[in-house]
Amino acid sequence: MENTMSRLLIETTVRQTLKSLQEDPKRSIRNLVDMARQFSGGRFQNAFFQTAHTMLKNEASAYYALVQDATGHIGTEHLVRFGMNLGYNSCTWGARRIRANEEALGFNIPWTVLLQVDETGASLHLAEYQKMVEEGEQLGIYTWMLFCPAVNPQKLFSLVRSHPDSAFFLFCPAGAVNASLTEAAQTLCNLMLVLHLDEAAGRACARLREARLPYSVRLAYSRSDASMIESGEAFAAVQRLHPVFTVLTPRPGCSPWIRKAVCEAAAEARRRQAYQTVPWDIYYDTCRVDRIISHDACWLCFDPEGDPQFGGHAPRCVPGNLFRDGLTAVIRQAYPKPAGETRS
């Protein structure tokens, strides 16, 4: 990706704002959002910054404390690089590229791709994963969510390092966070670890916080957890670990109505701004961003064998495999645009 003048100006402003946050965090955050509103030209940016502007009128917003805590405990280069990759490369420049490619190529494109990785994939398919990200960036995809529940996360660090313009969320067990992983993660400013919320999470989060690394937590829920999420009790407990995001993922067999209730609870928690962590529903909120970027919700996840799983308007059975056909071919088959469809 070229370092355009817009990106350089935005990055310079972000760095200046980070310096002033400790002195007057509320004023600095509001000034940054107001500046972003003036220069945002895309559908997603306009919607996001208008919402942020409205939310920050709440002087008691817990998000002020969240931002102040993050800037005080996360290294500046990690904040700037990950934030620019996610906010500018993915949701600004990448979003424009997605819309242009959808028009030119005739199929819808997701803004992010989820990838489930097992031991075999981490050992044998790194070349295919590298090609996947290369293809994705050409399409405008600059955010990647990697799930490796039974794999040493460091096996995927070479993938993250090879694509410095993309933002990677790497989901892993909290028990995987040790001195070696922490030291290696400090060299990857485009990475955010997302730790499974279990008995090891407290120690792991403390280690990452001490290392000044950004991190989030994953709350895998079932029906028995729904009431704690809806009441906000779960978010109140999680915020003690200081995660940026609390990512909500349903356990296997979780019913659609429970998933919908959890999604609505996450949206309500964000609206209330009562917790120093940002709830994010892995399916509904991911689709919501995609719908803002290009109208049609486009959701794509690959299992460890490279077979695609779809959401949105994709047909239930679409032939294709990541390892055999590549990312672009799978998306083209899954999300063709109706003939004559245009976008504004």
Question: For position 342, what pLDDT does the model report?
Answer: 47
Which tops the pLDDT comparison, 242 or 39? 242
Residue 41 has pLDDT above 60, yes or no: no
8 A C-beta contact, residue 184 and residue 213: no
Residue 96 has pLDDT above 70, yes or no: yes
Find the mean pLDDT for residues 144-148. 97
pLDDT tens by residue, 217-266: 999 999 999 999 999 999 999 999 999 999 999 999 999 999 999 999 99
Residue 322 has pLDDT above 70, yes or no: yes
pLDDT tens by residue, 45-68: 555 445 555 555 666 789 888 888
Domain boundaries of the chain, sorted by first residue: 5-334
pLDDT tens by residue, 106-141: 999 999 999 999 998 898 999 999 999 999 999 999
Calculate what percentage of the chain has a pLDDT beyond 90. Answer: 63
Question: For position 297, what pLDDT does the model report?
Answer: 81
Is 5-334 a CATH 3.40.50 domain? no
Question: For position 104, what pLDDT does the model report?
Answer: 95
Residue 294 has pLDDT above 80, yes or no: yes
pLDDT tens by residue, 327-344: 999 999 999 987 655 444
Average pLDDT of the chain is: 86
Question: For position 343, what pLDDT does the model report?
Answer: 46
Question: For position 17, what pLDDT does the model report?
Answer: 66
Ramachandran class of 58: left when φ > 0, alpha when ψ lies in -120 to 50, beta otherwise: beta
Which tops the pLDDT comparison, 297 or 211? 211
Question: For position 43, what pLDDT does the model report?
Answer: 53
Which tops the pLDDT comparison, 272 or 188? 188
Least confident of 39-43, 74-78, 189-193, 247-251: 39-43
The model carries a pTM of: 0.89
Structure confidence at residue 315 as a pLDDT band (50, 70, 90): low
Question: For position 194, what pLDDT does the model report?
Answer: 98
Which tops the pLDDT comparison, 59 or 196? 196
